[in-house]
Every structure is written in structure tokens, then in C-alpha cells.
A and B are shown apart, each in its own frame.
Chain A
Amino acid sequence: PAGQGSLLSYFGQK
């Protein structure tokens, strides 16, 4: 099912 992604995967510490 469609779900909401986590913003950590976009903005997490590099």
C-alpha cells in the first residue's frame, strides 16, 4: 500500500 516516507531519508545527517 502507498505510505508516507520518512524525511530522515532525505534530510538525515550525511
Chain B
Amino acid sequence: LFHARFEQAGLVDAIKDLIQDSDFHCRDSGIALRNMDNSQVAVVVILLEAGGFLPYHCDRRLNLGISLTSLTKIVHYAGDEATLALKANDNPDTFNLVLECLQTGCIIKYDIKSRDIDQEHLEIPKTDYAATITIPSAEFQRICRNLSQLLESVANEASEERIKFSSSGDIGSGSATLRHNSDLTGPIALTISLKYLVNFSKATALSYSVTLSLSSEVPQLVEYKVESGFARFYFAPQIGE
């Protein structure tokens, strides 16, 4: 039997534009998701430890293939305040999804067929980054959305005290600078697609702060801590000139 109740259903909204469907690996320790977007440029890794759910019960390993497109529609109409419960019995072909709106007490139940998802197995090695910078998530989202209105990619430059997001395109250029208190092993400069950063920043509601881990020649990491877990977004570095 598997039963998990989750109070941050907005997490689904944060990843739906990157991943259309995914296996959810359910273990006694918690739920994990690890998947790559179709263009192979971004990877989403989510870990929700059992302690973050009330209740959580999983007595055997279970992989649920879930359409995030469908899940998003279900969660969207329930609103941000809804809790989401997943239930599965010994038949892994279907699972139950229960949405509960705390304000009104309304309960919506679905029986969903588990999808058979042909998913790459990803091994994510431990990486030492040149810069690991934590900034307010709302500021990060504001910067990404603002610059992306006119421009397509952003160059990140970080020094001891400041991180600078600068961008240029046909219409001209723009930049945003933020103070930070993080440690750097040295100054760093790299370029990232704003379209993806805007996507990653949809996780803003999950956490007050976001941590950017940057190095020139390895995937960049954008991480949001959630209660008893995290949502991590990796982005491929640019290659060639």
C-alpha cells in the first residue's frame, strides 16, 4: 500500500513546462523524480522525503508513471491551497489521486491509469562549483521575467559581492545586479538561456530563496529547497564558438 499527502501541490506547476510525463519513484524514504526535457538541455530532479508528507506510507518500491500535463490540470483547478494525496494498492496499473481544498473542505478523487514511460536513467555526479550563490527567489524570478521580455539569453557574472545578469539582443541590452553574501572560489562568467531560467523560476512559490551553482564547463544548477526535500534544475553549458 502506498499513501502520501502533500501540501505543496504548486510543485507540479513548476515542472510541467519542462517535462510532460515522468516516473515517480516511491520508496519508504520518500518520492523521487529525475527526468530530462525533450531537448536534453534541462534536467529536473525532485526529492520529497517521507517526513514532509502527512501521512506517508509506502511498504514496497513503486514506480508510478504520471502525466504531468494531466496532473497540472487537476491541480490547477483545485487552487494553490489544495493538498494532493497519492494512493496506490498492490495493482501498480492504476493509482488514486485525491485533492482536498482546505478552505472549502471539497474533496475530488480520481482513478488514474499509470503510464508506461520510456525514461532515460540519469546518473548525476557530485560537482564542485566555482560559485554557489543564494539570492531571494522572487528577485531571481523578477530579473528573469523582466530581461526575457526583450532578450533571449543572459550572461551571469559573479564576483565576491555581486551577481550580474546581463543580456543583449536586436533591440539593445539590459542588465540586473544583485548583492549576495556567498562564497566564490573566483570570478565567473557564463551564458544561460533566459527561456529556461524563466521556466525554472516558476518554482519561486516553493521557497524564499534560490541557490545558483555555477561553473563554466559543467551543467549549471538552480535549486529550490522545499520542506523535507528539494527541486533542482540542471542546465547544459554552451559548447563551441
B193 within 8 A of A: yes
Residues of chain A within 8 A (CB-CB) of B46 are none
Selected from A1, A2, A4, A13, the residue in CB contact (under 8 A) with B123 is A13
Classify the interface of chain B: helix, strand, loop or mixed: loop
Residues of chain A within 8 A (CB-CB) of B239 are 2-5
Residues B123 and A14 in contact, CB atoms below 8 Å apart: yes
Residues A10 and B121 in contact, CB atoms below 8 Å apart: no
A8-B36, A12-B120, A13-B121 given as contacts; is B240 within 8 A of A2 (CB)? Answer: yes
Q: In the complex the two chains form, what is the Cα distance from A4 to B15 in whole Å?
A: 20
Interface residues on A, range: 10 to 19
Select the residue from B40, B43, B193, B241 with max chain A CB neighbours within 10 A.
B40
A8-B36, A8-B40 given as contacts; is B238 within 8 A of A3 (CB)? Answer: yes
Residues of chain A within 8 A (CB-CB) of B121 are 13
Tell me the nearest residue of chain B to A9, going by C-beta: B236
User: What is the CB-to-nearest-CB distance from A13 to chain B, in angstroms, rounded to a whole number?
Assistant: 5
Q: In the complex the two chains form, what is the Cα distance from A10 to B124 in whole Å?
A: 8
Selected from A1, A2, A6, A12, the residue in CB contact (under 8 A) with B236 is A6
Tell me the nearest residue of chain A to B192, going by C-beta: A4
User: What is the CB-to-nearest-CB distance from B206 to chain A, in angstroms, rounded to a whole number?
Assistant: 22
Residues A13 and B120 in contact, CB atoms below 8 Å apart: yes
B218 within 8 A of A: yes
Residues A7 and B238 in contact, CB atoms below 8 Å apart: no
Q: In the complex the two chains form, what is the Cα distance from A11 to B36 in whole Å?
A: 10
Contacting A at CB under 8 A, from B121-142, are 121-125
When each residue 139-167 of chain B gets 1 if its CB lies under 8 Å from chain A and 0 otherwise, what string results? Answer: 00000000000000000000000000000
User: What is the CB-to-nearest-CB distance from A8 to chain B, in angstroms, rounded to a whole number?
Assistant: 5
Residues B41 and A6 in contact, CB atoms below 8 Å apart: yes
| Given A10-B125, A11-B123, 7 more pairs with CB closer than 8 A | A4-B41, A4-B193, A6-B40, A11-B43, A11-B122, A12-B122, A13-B122
- Listed by A's residue number, 24 A-B pairs whose Cβ atoms lie within 8 Å are A1-B240, A1-B241, A2-B240, A2-B241, A3-B238, A3-B239, A4-B39, A4-B236, A4-B238, A5-B238, A6-B40, A6-B236, A7-B122, A7-B234, A7-B235, A8-B40, A8-B120, A10-B218, A10-B236, A11-B36, A11-B124, A11-B219, A11-B234, A12-B122
Binding site for A on B (CB under 8 A): 36, 39-43, 120-125, 193, 218-219, 234-241
